[in-house]
């Protein structure tokens, strides 16, 4: 398995050095580091890491604002580091965001565990999203084909099997997806009926 | 164009689980303002019961007459496509009304509506506008302030370096499309970090609304990309500035009124007179289409921006160009406006100037197909080619002399606008610029 990739962001150099050492020791690949929020957004978009490790103190916005954009635009998974007092507030705000808030001062173990968890869940989310996309497309295709079949059966007075075969044959002959053929049939009959 | 009723808006807001609604309007200087309400207040707002303090808006009213009402236009309902995870936010563009129920004459949208009414009275049912907005994307520094550093070094239409700007621009297009825009083209411009997005022509009111929405979306998406988008007309000396070329056409009974099968260049009398009206009034209109001190640093020779008042069907450097398309796409491209202008006022002025030309049958001078920038000053004078104002000061002076513009803008905006722009000029005039320090400090 390829090493998961990470971009870090903090203006605290000492903290970042420590974090990076820990991450590298645990087999992660550091793609880059940002010292401010805007630089961080730019790096997330251009380096496309799996995970961002963000410090809450990240001017000019703060780490949570950056995390929101990263999650909303599906740029990467986010582990946000914040003091314990702040963690409580963010946790309540971040309910609907899948970003993980880790309290500072942080233990080595719990930090690595958090990053590991985020990497795994990120992979899982991507898989699930892809599955949903596929299912949506299948459903859409099926709807179009069902409708086209119905129209062909009605207008050409043929059986369901024949109608399906007709669509399938057109699709194979022309090298066009069945859903596209079905869409064309549906459109043609709609125009005719108007 | 969509036609939504009050009920449609309420239904969609509910279905889509919209939590907040921004009631937007534009001040006379082209700044987008908004009043945020919650979805519970939406029905009230759609019943035109939403009030705000007009005296807080620059150039609106004095404190003692400050209550104003917002009347949302249901057709402008759109849900912001960003922030999909949290509570959804939508917007409605509003007209501004006085407490007595009359339209507020300081509302730029009302000024444009008045101009459109004038066109309708003359039999022109549609004034179509297709804008081409240019802007720069700059990097922001660690304090979040825009810098003058661009992140890329691509040139016009360059495809190769897929950079941050490129990605940001793609996202802008997607967001705009989700808000109902039809994007016609989007490309890198001549200058470094400069981009252009063109959207489909629309009737003038929708086009002006779209320009305001466009500027907002571009700025927000840029920010979400760690970039800063600016519509400042000329941010950097020595490279092209940002313009907003404006393609306009008039329609009568659904037919393009600028097209005539047998006309010279296949243009109708209306088209020629429209050009004539624009040429006659353009020096006074400039204060509105090019409203900033900085606007006039774009209108200089050498950067594809127009300087001289002329028109042509061929020459791309002229102030007005007739693109090759004919038939229902026949149009005039006015090349001076820049994206810092108030689109409502600018379009109202352009339209009314054209109508003035049609009404008074003003013949334009012959087309100038030569490269005007290569003509000597004597040749230009011989051919009767005047130039656009050279500074905001010159433009304001023209505006002050123009009865025509006073009619277009209405007494209220005309007065407030001149007042504010004179102040702006005076502020600029008395400042010591970096150029002066560079040139003089060590020499004298």
- For residue B340, what pLDDT band results from cuts at 50, 70 and 90? very high
* pTM, full prediction: 0.87
pLDDT of residue B61: 72
Is B189 an active-site residue?
yes
* Cβ-defined contact of B224 to A69 (cutoff 8 Å): yes
HSE-CB at A55 with a 13 A cutoff on CA atoms is: 23
Q: What is the pLDDT of residues B29-76, one digit of tens each?
A: 999 999 999 999 999 999 988 888 888 777 777 666 678 899 999 999
Checking if the pLDDT of B155 tops 50, the result is no
pLDDT of residue A173: 92
Q: Mean pLDDT across chain B, nearest whole number?
A: 90
Checking if the pLDDT of B310 tops 60, the result is yes
Checking if the pLDDT of B1 tops 90, the result is no
Q: Label residue A132 exposed, middle or buried (CB < 10 Å: 0-12, 13-18, 19+).
A: exposed
Torsional sign, CA B229, B231, B235, B237: positive
- For residue B346, what pLDDT band results from cuts at 50, 70 and 90? very high
pLDDT of residue B135: 95
**Structure-block tokens of residue B163:** 């950079």
Is B62 an active-site residue?
no
Per the residue annotation, which of B7, B17, B47, B53 is the catalytic one?
Answer: B53
* Out of A36, A60, A72, closest to residue B85 by CB: A72
**Structure-block tokens of residue B10:** 């309420």
Low-confidence ranges of chain A (pLDDT < 70): 1, 96, 194
* Cβ-defined contact of A41 to B224 (cutoff 8 Å): yes
The span from the CA of B207 to the CA of B199, in Å, is: 9
Closest A-chain CA to B164: A46
Closest B-chain CA to A98: B85
A95-99, B142-146, B304-308, B418-422: range with highest mean pLDDT: B418-422
Residue range B312-340: mean pLDDT, rounded: 91
pLDDT of residue B158: 42
Checking if the pLDDT of B159 tops 50, the result is no
Query: Which residues make Cβ contacts (< 8 Å) with residue B150, sequence separation at least 6?
Result: B136, B137, B138, B139, B165, B192, B193, B194
DSSP labels, chain A: -PPPEEEEE-S-HHHHHHHHHHHHHTT-EEEEEESSHHHHHHHHHHH--SEEEEES--SSS-HHHHHHHHHHTT--EEEEEEEHHHHHHHHHHGGGS-EEEEEES--HHHHHHHHHHHHHHHHHHHHHHHHHHHHHHHHHHHHHHHHHHHHHHHHH---HHHHHHHHHHHHHHHT--HHHHHHHHHHHHHHHH-
* Cβ-defined contact of A61 to B144 (cutoff 8 Å): yes
pLDDT of residue B270: 95
pLDDT of residue B371: 79
Closest A-chain CA to B221: A69
Is B178 an active-site residue?
no
pLDDT of residue B85: 63
pLDDT of residue B64: 63
The span from the CA of B388 to the CA of B370, in Å, is: 18
* Cβ-defined contact of B225 to A42 (cutoff 8 Å): yes
Query: Which residues make Cβ contacts (< 8 Å) with residue B163, sequence separation at least 6?
Result: A46, B151, B152, B154
Q: What is the pLDDT of residues B133-142, one digit of tens each?
A: 999 998 887 7
Checking if the pLDDT of B438 tops 60, the result is yes
Closest A-chain CA to B82: A72
> Among candidates B350, B323, B318, which has minimal Cα distance to B266?
B323
- For residue B119, what pLDDT band results from cuts at 50, 70 and 90? very high
Residue range B366-389: mean pLDDT, rounded: 85
Is B383 an active-site residue?
no
The span from the CA of A140 to the CA of A136, in Å, is: 6
pLDDT of residue B276: 96
Q: What is the pLDDT of residues B179-218, one digit of tens each?
A: 999 999 888 887 778 999 999 999 999 999 999 999 999 9
The span from the CA of B249 to the CA of B121, in Å, is: 17
**Structure-block tokens of residue B7:** 């009920």
What ranges in B73-121 are assigned the alpha helix state H? Answer: 108-121
- Residues of A with CB below 8 A from B83's CB? 68, 72
- Which of A142-146, B163-167, B243-247 is the least confident region? B163-167
Report the residue of A45, A78, A93 to disrupt the B interface, i.e. the one with the largest count of B CBs within 10 Å: A45
Checking if the pLDDT of B444 tops 70, the result is yes
pLDDT of residue B86: 66
């Amino acid at each position: 398995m390829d090493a998961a990739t990470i971009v870090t962001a903090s203006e605290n150099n000492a903290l970042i050095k420590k974090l990076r050492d820990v991450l590298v020791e645990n087999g992660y690949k550091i793609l880059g580091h940002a010292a401010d929020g805007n630089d961080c957004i730019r790096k997330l978009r251009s380096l496309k890491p799996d995970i961002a490790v963000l410090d809450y103190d990240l001017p000019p916005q703060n780490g949570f604002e950056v995390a929101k954009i990263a999650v909303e635009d599906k740029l990467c998974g986010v582990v946000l580091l914040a003091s314990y007092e702040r963690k409580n507030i963010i946790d309540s705000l971040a309910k609907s965001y899948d970003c993980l808030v880790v309290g500072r001062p942080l233990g080595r173990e719990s930090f690595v565990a958090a990053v590991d968890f985020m990497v795994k869940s990120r992979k899982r989310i991507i898989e699930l999203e892809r599955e949903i996309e596929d299912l949506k497309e299948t459903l859409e295709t099926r709807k179009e084909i069902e409708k086209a079949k119905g129209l062909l059966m009605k207008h050409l007075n043929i059986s369901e099997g024949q109608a399906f075969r007709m669509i399938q044959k057109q699709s194979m002959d022309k090298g066009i997806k069945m859903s596209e053929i079905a869409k064309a049939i549906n459109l043609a009959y709609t125009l005719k009926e108007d | 164009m969509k036609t939504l009723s009050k009920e449609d808006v309420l239904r969609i807001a509910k279905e889509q689980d919209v939590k907040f609604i921004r009631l937007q309007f534009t001040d006379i200087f082209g700044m987008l303002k908004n009043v945020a309400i919650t979805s519970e207040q939406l029905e009230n707002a759609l019943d035109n019961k939403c009030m705000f303090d007009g005296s807080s808006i620059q150039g609106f009213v004095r404190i003692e007459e400050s209550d104003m009402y917002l009347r949302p236009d249901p057709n402008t309902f759109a849900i912001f496509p960003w922030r999909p995870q949290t509570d959804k936010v939508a917007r409605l563009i509003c007209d501004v009304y006085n407490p007595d129920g009359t339209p507020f004459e300081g509302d730029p949208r009302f000024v444009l509506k008045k101009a459109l009414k004038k066109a309708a009275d003359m039999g022109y049912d549609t004034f179509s506008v297709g804008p081409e907005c240019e802007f720069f994307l700059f990097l922001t520094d660690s304090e979040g302030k825009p810098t003058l550093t661009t992140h890329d070094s691509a040139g016009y239409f360059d495809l190769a370096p897929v950079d941050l700007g490129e990605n940001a621009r793609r996202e802008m297009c997607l967001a705009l499309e989700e808000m109902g825009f039809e994007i016609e083209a989007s490309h890198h411009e001549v200058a470094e970090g400069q981009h252009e997005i063109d959207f489909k022509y629309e009737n003038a009111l929708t086009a002006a609304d779209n320009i305001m929405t466009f500027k907002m979306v571009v700025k927000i998406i840029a920010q979400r990309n760690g970039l800063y988008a600016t519509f400042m007309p000329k941010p950097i000396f020595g490279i092209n500035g940002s313009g907003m070329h404006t393609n306009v056409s008039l329609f009568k009974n659904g037919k393009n009124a600028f097209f005539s099968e047998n006309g010279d260049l296949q243009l109708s009398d209306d088209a020629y007179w429209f050009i004539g009206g624009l040429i006659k009034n353009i020096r006074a209109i400039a204060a509105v289409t090019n409203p900033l001190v900085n606007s006039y640093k774009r209108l200089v020779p050498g950067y594809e921006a127009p300087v001289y008042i002329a028109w042509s069907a061929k020459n791309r450097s002229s102030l007005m160009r007739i693109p090759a398309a004919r038939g229902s796409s026949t149009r005039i491209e006015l090349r001076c406006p820049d994206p810092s202008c108030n689109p409502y006022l600018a379009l109202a002025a352009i339209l009314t100037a054209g109508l003035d030309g049609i009404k008074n049958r003003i013949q334009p001078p012959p087309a100038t197909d030569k490269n005007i920038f290569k003509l000597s000053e004597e040749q230009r004078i011989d051919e009767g080619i005047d130039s656009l104002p050279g500074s905001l000061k010159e433009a304001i002076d023209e505006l002050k002399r123009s009865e025509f513009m006073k009619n277009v803008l209405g007494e209220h905006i005309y007065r407030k606008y001149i007042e504010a722009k004179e102040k702006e000029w005076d502020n600029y005039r008395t400042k010591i610029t970096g150029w002066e320090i560079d040139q003089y400090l060590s020499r004298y």
